[in-house]
Structure 1
Amino acid sequence: MELVVYDLETTGLRPEQDEIIEIGAVRWVDGAIGDTFHSFVRPTRRVPDEIYELTGLTPADLQNAPPLETVLPQFLKFISGSTLAGHNAQFDLNFLMAACDKAGYELPASRDVLDSLLLARVLLPFEQAHRLGDVAARCGVEQPGEHRGLADALTTAKVLSALMTEASALPYLTLQQLERLASLFSPITANWFGMVAERRYQTYGTALPAHCDQIQQLVFAAVPPHPGETDAETAADMDGETPGLCADTSAAREDGHSSDSELPGADGEELVVDPSTFFTADSPLGQALPSFEIRPGQRAMVDAVTTALEEGRHLIAEAGTGTGKSLAYLIPAALHAAREDARVIVSTHTIALQDQIEQRDFATLRRVMNMPLSLAVFKGRTHYLCMRKLAQENAGADFGTPRPELEAYMTLLSWVANTPAGNREELSMSGRLADVWQRVQSETETCIHKRCPFFKSCYYFRARSAAYEADIVVTNHSLVLSDLKSEHRVLPHYDKIIFDEAHHLEEEATRHLGAEVYAGQCAASVGRLVRDGGKHGVIAELLNRLSDASTAEAVQIAKLETLQDGVLTVKAAMDDAFAALAQLVPAGQSEFRITPDVTRTPAWQAYQDAVHRMTDLQTKLRQLAEDLDEAAERTADQDIAGRLYDCAGFVRDVAAKADTLCRGGDAGPDFVVWIERTGTAERPHWSLHIAPIDVAGILRSTLFETKASVVLTSATLSVNGNFDFISERLGLSAAAEEGRLQTLSVPSPFDYKTQAMLCVPTDVPELAKMGAEEAAVWLSDSIYQLAKASGGRLLALFTSHAMLRATARTLRDPLRSLNIRLFAQGVDGTRSHLLEPFRKNPNAVLLGAQSFWEGIDLPGDQLTTLVIIRLPFAPPTHPVTAARHERLEQQGKSAFWHASLPEAVVRFRQGFGRLIRTMSDRGVVVIYDKRIITAKYGQTFIRSLPGLRPLIAPEAQVIEQVRRFLTRPNKASESAHTSGKEVSNERHG
């Protein structure tokens, strides 16, 4: 295959306004580099400074370059008659076509281009980023440069060769299917996959790779076998029932564990059952971790967790950063599970911590524990792929299927041939993949169990089976709360649970013990049944497949046609309901609470009218769903039966969303209801939310009173040195009164007095009283001075997105003069996109909002200066916050002292925790909110930081002290380096 791989550098992103300033191209023939083309192009207007910064070009490179009128004909001659290729090729093609139009030329090449970005998304589905540099690094391709025309063209050509090697490893049938899907939108892409498929056939024929299996027309990675042939069947039989391998957790489990109190180890030795023995210098843990050190705090937490699990108590354990809390609860949990033959659940808030436990902490346990030990990570059902649905959606794709959906199916086909887990977290949900996933996800409502041809290989049931067999099951707060809400029909039976990142439990409970419905989700749910004017969707598919069927099947056609009309009618009523709710929201407001006064206004009547229409239709929809279930049971064709079940399940999903949408006016006095607007002014996204005002009672009755032991741990759980706040908010006050609640506070092993400095400038203006643009002027100058003193490596935490954006606009150019890069959340990308370049760039400033206050790890010199713009008080106007404050005031309590302040202190401590991450770290925290020293409550924040006394001084003095602190020798670092105690067990947790 012969291609011309090209790349353009431009002055911006808009072909109709911006200009080409560099063109580079290389001829690529069967993987070999041919002749090249390169030229700068003199622009007709000023080039933005950020373009010079991005590309490395200089004004001198362009001022003597030929104009586009000279360069363009030369380049068009170079590409004449060739097939074009590039990375994100459509972007460059749009600029090239715009240039041709302006100059009066015809493009002498096909507009169907080969895009290495598309190929990378399809062939490298496990990668989270697919920019050219990311793909080149993944493929082992060295880049001669970045964001330069010829350098990027050469890199893209080499990447295409590497991607061909990646594609050659795919099964022949998968390549054929990728060729078919590509042919529906890009013949050149189809030819490329066809060429790879032919080469694969010439070498291997149609034989499957050793790791793959095939059912019907879907090739997938064979799932590693579990003990016994009926594992999936056992898990399926339990699906939808109250799970539990046995009602009595002391009885023998099916995994073969004994219930004796003294268990033999792997080689017949008696199992060590005292967890504290693992935390001695000559223990297995000490031998497994060369840098291991004994920590009194870690030992104290081990003892407390052991007592809670053994004696059936609840525990709140605050463990400062660096304590090693994950090992401190995992070792007691593992020993307890083995000795008592009782499963222990570990619940986290973030996927990152789940990965750490599975891949690092548990791997350590396996090395140090002389015993059989199993762990399973279990996620919600919709996190797993349904292979039956993917096979059917793939088979139904045609020329009417939108290109983004076809690309999503191609990615899924490539992924399923390589994933043993089928877990959506493995994928980068870019483009339309998130929408398509809803059509192929595993769901209880659409599962046909043993009638499914993929049943024994089902990702969900395999994961569920592994969870039922495991000693420790790692899951997330969301799934635990869904399990509580469904009366324990989600997770396998457990009586002991450990919540890590427990400071998020109330927030998650508020969300999951209520209900919410989004206009976009409603449209997607309807789209699974009918879309594109009835041309696509499972109803259209069934109507087409049943059109030549028997008379009995013709009866189903009539019902399907009735169903299609009903679904579209419900969709219209949903649209009307959201439109009516939108009319209630004042201009410029993103959240609007529905109170009894609102429901008495004339505007509310339009919503009620839509509700009445939906209510009348829901009964009919559910009856039609039952009819489809019965038809599926009678149908001999398993494929059609599966789609009938899918259709019925999708109908119930639409009915459930309609039911939630109808609850806006009758949720009850213990719930708060509000409308939320996200998106842009031109394209707003609407949603309705229902949340409990108080989750304490629900958690008390469903969790703390029903489970023998619940352990809550985090680095930030106490306020003012006690746990009264979290105990009251989560429903643990009764357990405390009964003596069932233990508490423990383990300080961080870090020496904050020498490793950190806390500063409060006294001449900071009152930012709260200033507009975003006005505040940005002062902030930009101060952050500039701090960044200059620290050499970058600065993170500024904002509570206002508007102030963040304004500061970014004002600060970018001054920082550029210091050769310091600026990364601003929401301006330059999302959190996940900004963290890695910030880590890699030693001279950078990062401006972050809410999601940066916790959950990020920037050890060592990656971060030395932390700026807190304002104390993180939650907006009192949020509907849930407002409702809770009203209830506190009704009870005669101060909402500020009982809610706002404790919440802000916990958040503040989380933000501070971003700075010192290891024993050798050193850094400064600068707080631009004078309330911390002027307000009565300010000392509450200061006391929450261990052993730190603030430097209170004018801004100029603060900046000088910051410079001195960061430039003097780091004794902590030298000590840690000399003693070899940059400890391994420190970073576990």
Structure 2
Amino acid sequence: MLDASLKKEIQTAYSQFLDSRGLKARPAQKQMIAAVARTLGAIRADEKGKRLGESHLVAVEAGTGTGKTIAYLLAALPIAKRHNLKLVVSTATVALQEQLIDKDLPELAEHAGLSFRYTLAKGRGRYLCLNKAEQLLDTQVSLGQMALYEDEEQLKVEPSVLEKVRLIMQRYAEGVWDGDKDKLNDAPTDEIWGLLTSDHMQCSNRRCINFSVCPFYRAREQMVDADLVIANHDLVLADLSLGGGAILPEPSNTLYVFDEGHHLADKAGSHFSYSLRLLTALRLIGGMEKKLLQFSQHCSSSFLDDLVTRMHQPIADLLLALNAWRELAEGLSFDSDRGRTPRVRFTNGRQPESWMIPAKEVSHCCQRLLQYLEQLAALLKEAMEGNLADIERGQAEAFFPQLGFLLNRIQQMSWLAGSFARPDEAGNSPTARWVVLHETLQGPEYECCSSPVSVAATLQEHLWQACFGALITSATLTALGNFDRLKQTLGLPEDTPCERLMSPFDYFNAAELHIPKMRNDPGRVDEHTEEVTEFLNAELPKLSASLVLFSSWKQMFKVLEGLNSDLKERVIEQGGRSKSAMLQQHRERIDQGQPSCLFGLASFAEGVDLPGDYLTDVIITKLPFSVPDDPVDATLAEWIEQQGGNAFSDLAVPVASMRLTQAVGRLLRTEKDRGRVVILDRRLTGKFYGRQILDALPPFRQVF
């Protein structure tokens, strides 16, 4: 039960926040504060601060306009401070991070009477590595990107780039820049920045001569003093994969808030997916021994010489296994229809037994190599500490990032090979496995891929069981009006408290949902596209600020091609520039009194905030069902059918319902907004599942 004094503290902070800003309490916001405080505030701990019990998770769907960010901050911050915990707020997008840092947290600090310190956590790749930059300037070649292939020379860096790196280093040395790439007005290209940053495998940590002034570790020091850390889902997952507490605070001492929580499962799926390009791997391993021998020859260590010699056989064995794997890939029949990259998906994720043999050998060889490379890494660390006479510190520092690069690549290779080397355990969700064919200048390149179809067990083990407590929240968590799918995909316990808080917006009087009579079902692609074009040619001249959402590039460009010439001039289509640039151009047109129409795909169905006159009409060309041949979705569908379920009703319809709810949510962003949603898909009124999807949408005034 929530402690009375803690409850009083939260209530007082909320009242003070409202009074200071001249606001009235929102019922849904009060409900969310209560829901979060009720669960997170009631978590029990022993005398050492270790969580007791399992009732430590809560999910809250808070409709647009609820004020959920302020609600969860007001509830969670006092609880975290009372229990001496860190609060980690994780988002899926940079936009929400910026909103938290630039708006919500300063407002809370100013108006709620709460005293707290906060910082933004970023991955190592966003910070300058002084060691890499110094080596780049000293040698005028890239030491971070190894010349691992026999036909590849070390990458030469243009003098203009070197001059830019010198200026960057000077700005850091003068203290006018803190090493964060995002704070550079003239940041280098991703290719150049890749030469100036590091990852956990390439970093020598405290052994680095620049450790005391390292931008990344200086940022880490700020995290130690912070009560609240802003992160993103990818960074949280990366930290968990390293055992937790490697980048972010220890999970057992952390309260997590996963805002935009509907992205967490997809992010986790991507994080635990692996791929291996066989031709690239052969070139990597083929050049590896030569590179190791070159380094060995520059040193006078007999132990190093012996270590490199012992790697010869596993390298040779690995090359044989990779070639055998490539021969199997060459024997596949690739489907190149439907205008996509040719690929072969293994039914039910079950790779043939013949594929397991070379995969096991690749995995075994990788493990042997990793043992030797880790011994070499330990040797270099000793040299960097000045404990070895036969390997100079400078030599060790120069080669360590290259060794880290190798370790990382072979580790990735080992994980992918391990996935192909063993069958899935009976009763567990399967792994999707497939092979993609790429045509390259060097010849056919076969990319082997694997991805779990469900991350529920992984999240349950590494996140939910490890953390002190967590809130999952978003404006869209439910599918078809319930939390069943959320619990399944995230591995939440069945008794996890879940609350759905409705938006304070008056949807019925503020907006209409139009479903025009359509002649063609979207399954008749060409006919439906032609009809969408006819509709837009007739409707767009009447509209001043509109957003048209498509499910495929092909249909979007086909419709654009068929628009009347005068209408094409007002369309800003996705593909030519960034999303933010498109939105800025759209706003400028509206400000100037000109009509404007955005054409976009799935990325425009969320994260687009165009209040008031900036958006009055949202037109959705068809229901956002998943692409039927996506390897992961197809494997998951097969598994659902095998379990006695129905893949369409259990998977496709709920996912489409959630996506559609996100899409229509672009229309009303404030209580004063007015407008119309149009859906050009007759399946909403003609199919059995249409009513389910309609009922899950906000209560617009419906016009059929």
TM more than 0.5: yes
- Give the SS at the match of 1:856: coil
Which of 693, 701, 717 in structure 1 is aligned with 2:453? 693
Query: CA 1:927–1:412 in structure 2 vs 1: closer, same or farther (change >3 Å)?
Result: farther
Q: Does 1:813 align with 2:572?
A: no
The answer as to 2:130 corresponding to 1:387 is: yes
What is the CA-CA distance between 1:577 and the residue it aligns to? 5.1
Q: What is the alpha-carbon distance in structure 2 between the residues aligned to residue 809 and residue 594 of structure 1?
A: 38
Which of residues 402, 412, 415 is equivalent to 1:647? Answer: 402
Q: Is the 8 A contact 2:661 2:698 kept in 1?
A: no
Identify which of 778, 784, 795 aligns with 2:531.
778
- Check 1:713–1:616 CA distance in 2 against 1; reply closer, same or farther (3 A cut): closer
Task: Give distance in 1, aligned partners of 2:664 and 2:29.
Answer: 21
Pick from 722, 732, 739 the counterpart of residue 482 of structure 2: 722
Where does residue 829 of structure 1 map in the other structure? 577
Say which of 69, 79, 85 aligns to 1:336.
Answer: 79
Q: Deviations over 1:292-330 (max 9, x none)?
A: 332111111111111121112422111111111111111
Q: Is 1:487 matched up with 2:239?
A: no
Distance 1:272 1:839 in 2: 43
Q: Percent identity between the aligned chains?
A: 27
One-letter amino acid of the counterpart of residue 444, structure 1: H
Matches within 5 A, 1:223-622: 273-280=8-15, 283-287=16-20, 289=21, 292-312=23-43, 313-397=56-140, 411-416=164-169, 417=171, 420-426=177-183, 433-490=189-246, 491-493=248-250, 494-517=253-276, 547=298, 552=300, 581=329, 584=332, 585-588=334-337, 589-590=340-341, 591-595=343-347, 599-600=351-352, 612=361, 615-616=364-365, 619-620=368-369, 622=371
Q: Which residue of 1 aligns with 2:52?
A: none
Shift of 1:722: 2.7
Kindly indicate whether the alpha-carbon contact (under 8 Å) linking 1:485 and 1:513 is maintained by their aligned counterparts in 2: no
* Shift in alpha-carbon separation, 1:840–1:586, aligned structure 2, 3 A: same
Amino acid at match of 1:422: G
Check the 8 A contact 2:63/2:501 in 1, yes or no: yes
Q: 1:580 to 1:439 in 2, by over 3 A?
A: farther
| Normalised TM-score (structure 1) | 0.60
Number of aligned residue pairs: 654
**Aligned equivalent of 1:702:** 462
1:859 corresponds in structure 2 to 611
| Aligned-partner residue type, residue 478 of structure 1 | D
Matched, 1:915 2:697: no
Tell me if structure 1 keeps the 8 A contact 2:128–2:197.
yes
Q: Give the number of the structure with larger relative contact order, counting CA–CA contacts within 8 Å between residues 6 or more apart.
A: 2
- After superposition, the Cα gap between the structure-2 partners of 1:353 and 1:309, relative to the gap in structure 1 and judged at 3 Å, is same
Output the CA distance in 1 between the equivalents of 2:691 and 2:627.
21
CA distance, structure 2, for counterparts of residue 834 and residue 859 of structure 1: 16
Per-residue CA deviation, residues 529-549 of structure 1 (Å, 9 max, x unaligned), is: 979xx8xx8987x58xx75x6
- Residue 795 of structure 1 corresponds to 547
1:160-191 Cα distance to aligned partner (Å, 9 max, x none): xxxxxxxxxxxxxxxxxxxxxxxxxxxxxxxx
CA distance in 2, matches of 1:926, 1:567: 60
Q: Greater CA deviation, 751-760 or 900-909?
A: 751-760
User: Residues 876-887 of structure 1: matches in 2 within 5 Å?
Assistant: 876-887=628-639
* RMSD, aligned CA: 3.9
SS at match of 1:690: strand
How far did residue 424 of structure 1 move?
4.3
Structure-2 separation of matches of 1:306 and 1:935:
42
Matches within 5 A, 1:189-200: none
Deviation for aligned residue 1:568: 11
CA shift, 1:513, in A, is 3.6
User: Judging changes above 3 Å, is the alpha-carbon distance between structure 1 residues 609 and 708 closer, same or farther for their aligned structure 2 residues?
Assistant: closer
Distance 1:406 1:320, change over 3 A: farther
Structure 1 residue 480 displacement after superposition? 2.3
CA contact (8 A) 2:318 2:361 kept: no
- Contact conserved, 2:363 with 2:418, CA < 8 A, in 1? no
1:769-805 residue CA offsets vs partner (Å, 9 max, x unmatched): 133xx544332232122211113x2211111121112
Greater CA drift, 506-515 or 571-580? 571-580
Q: Secondary structure, in 3 states, of the residue corresponding to 1:763?
A: coil
Cα distance change on mapping 1:716 and 1:573 into 2, 3 Å? same
| CA-CA distance at 1:356 after TM superposition | 1.4
| CA pair 444-806 structure 1, distance change in 2 beyond 3 A | same
- State the Cα deviation string for residues 854-903 of structure 1 (Å, max 9, x = none): 11212222222111111111123322222222222222222222221111
Is residue 434–residue 450 contact of structure 2 (8 Å, CA) maintained in 1? no
Q: Confirm whether residue 838 of structure 1 aligns to residue 586 of structure 2.
A: yes
Supply the distance in 1 between the matched residues of 2:274 and 2:398 (Cα, whole angstroms). 28
Question: Cα gap change, 1:390/1:914 in structure 2, threshold over 3 Å: closer, same or farther?
Answer: same
Aligned to 1:121: none
CA distance in 1, matches of 2:689, 2:178: 50
Task: Indicate conservation of the 8 Å contact 1:517/1:660, yes or no.
Answer: no
**Which runs of 5 or more residues in structure 1 are unaligned?**
1-259, 263-270, 953-989
Question: Residues 582 and 920 from structure 1, CA distance in 2 versus in 1: closer, same or farther, beyond 3 angstroms?
Answer: farther
Check conservation: 1:676, 1:686, Cα contact below 8 A: yes
Secondary structure of the corresponding residue to residue 95 of structure 2: helix
SS class of match (1:745): strand
Q: Deviations over 1:662-717 (max 9, x none)?
A: 23523532432333659889999864332223322333333334434221110011
Give the letter for the 2:376 counterpart.
D
1:496/1:709 contact within 8 Å kept: yes
Aligned to 2:149: none
- For structure 2, the residue ranges without an aligned partner over 5 or more in a row are 44-55, 143-152, 387-391
Letter in 2 for 1:780: T
Q: 1:398 to 1:468 in 2, by over 3 A?
A: closer
Give the aligned partner of residue 190 of structure 1. Answer: none
Instruction: Give the TM-score normalised by structure 2.
Output: 0.82
In 1, the alpha carbon distance for the partners of 2:155 and 2:376 equals: 31
Partner of 1:874: 626
8 Å contact kept, 2:261–2:473? yes
Larger Rg: 1
Partner amino acid for 2:506? D
- CA distance in 2 between partners of 1:597 and 1:376 (Å): 42
| Alpha carbons 1:764, 1:929 under 8 Å: kept | no
- Structure 2 vs 1, CA of residues 586 and 859 (structure 1 numbering), >3 Å: closer, same or farther? same
2:687 corresponds to 1:935: yes
What letter corresponds to residue 610 of structure 2 in structure 1? L
In structure 1, distance between residues paired with 2:663 and 2:560: 20
Alignment partner, residue 980 of structure 1: none
CA contact (8 A) 1:794 1:864 kept: yes
Q: Aligned with 1:852: secondary structure?
A: helix
For residues 640 and 675 of structure 2, the distance between their equivalents in structure 1, rounded to whole angstroms, comes to 39
Name the stretch that deviates more: 346-355 or 624-633.
624-633
Q: Secondary structure at the match of 2:41?
A: helix
Is residue 509 of structure 2 the alignment partner of residue 754 of structure 1?
yes
Structure 2 residue 473 is the aligned partner of structure 1 residue 713:
yes
Give 1:388's aligned amino acid.
Answer: N
The answer to whether the Cα contact below 8 Å between 1:321 and 1:748 also exists between their aligned partners in 2 is yes
Q: Distance in 2 between matches of 1:915 and 1:562?
A: 64
Match for 1:286: what amino acid?
Answer: D
- Tell me, in whole angstroms, the C-alpha distance in 2 between the residues paired with 1:875 and 1:780: 22
Any idea what SS the aligned residue of 1:889 has? helix
Task: In structure 2, give the amino acid aligned to 1:749.
Answer: P
1:751 Cα deviation from its structure 2 partner: 1.7
State the alpha-carbon separation in 1 of the partners of residues 533 and 445 from structure 2.
33
The worse-fitting range, judged by mean Cα deviation, of 883-892 and 554-563 is: 554-563
- Per the alignment, do residues 720 and 595 of structure 1 end up closer, same or farther by CA in structure 2, a change over 3 Å counting? closer
